[in-house]
């Protein structure tokens, strides 16, 4: 009887260890998205609808030709060549929380709330991309926005860009760069008129 108890216990432990591996990348990204949304809800901001509206604006202004990963990669190419988004830049009402609050402890949320294995999260391609970004930021005082666009273009596949958490992260970066493109350009135009 004792021998059978050990076998059952061993099988249960083996099953528990395998359950972490059974979580797919897609499921992990979906759970990370929930944590991402929860972070912004703490500031009374529903991030997904705001970023979806922003994506529609990018479509309407011609910055994106559709919502595929290929369209995002094409936008990265454009932004690598140009310093800013091309005109028109019609958006006026920016959300200050989206502009200035950086989601923190997303991984801690996912590991504690959903019991995800932190190693499974760290093995995701997007986590590796973010580690590379963090490493660059730690090494250099200033990091060019072109570094981000180039890294996203090279390291994220068209399919990955469309995954929930990655799409939100990319759209947030683009949201902030759109804001900078709009207001840095206005300042430059005003300064050039003063010179004449």
Could you read off the pLDDT tens digit of each residue along the chain, which spans 196 residues?
A: 445 444 444 444 444 454 445 689 999 999 999 999 999 999 999 999 999 999 999 999 999 999 999 999 999 999 999 889 998 899 999 999 999 999 888 999 999 999 999 999 999 999 999 999 999 999 998 999 999 999 999 999 999 999 989 999 999 999 999 999 999 865 554 444 444 4
Q: The pTM is what?
A: 0.82
pLDDT at 12: 43
* 58 CB burial (10 A radius; 0-12, 13-18, 19+): buried
Question: Using CA atoms, how far apart are residues 45 and 96, in angstroms rounded to an integer?
Answer: 10
> What does the pLDDT read at residue 3?
52
Cα separation, 44 vs 19, whole angstroms: 34
């Amino acid at each position: 009887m004792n021998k059978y108890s050990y076998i059952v216990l061993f099988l249960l432990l083996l099953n528990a260890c395998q359950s972490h591996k059974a979580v797919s990348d897609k499921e992990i990204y979906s759970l990370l998205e929930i944590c991402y949304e929860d972070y912004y809800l703490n500031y009374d901001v529903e991030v997904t609808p705001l970023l979806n509206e922003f994506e529609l604006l990018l479509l309407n202004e011609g910055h994106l030709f559709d919502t595929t990963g290929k369209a995002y990669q094409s936008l990265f190419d454009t932004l690598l060549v140009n310093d800013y988004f091309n005109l028109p830049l019609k958006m006026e009402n920016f959300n200050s929380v989206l502009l200035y609050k950086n989601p923190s402890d997303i991984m801690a949320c996912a590991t504690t709330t959903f019991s995800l294995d932190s190693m499974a999260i760290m093995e995701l391609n997007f986590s590796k991309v973010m580690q590379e970004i963090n490493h660059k930021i730690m090494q250099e005082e200033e990091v060019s926005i072109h570094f981000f666009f180039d890294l996203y273009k090279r390291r994220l596949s068209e399919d990955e860009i469309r995954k929930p958490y990655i799409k939100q992260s990319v759209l947030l970066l683009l949201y902030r760069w759109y804001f900078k493109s709009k207001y840095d350009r206005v300042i430059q135009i005003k300064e050039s008129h003063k010179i004449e």
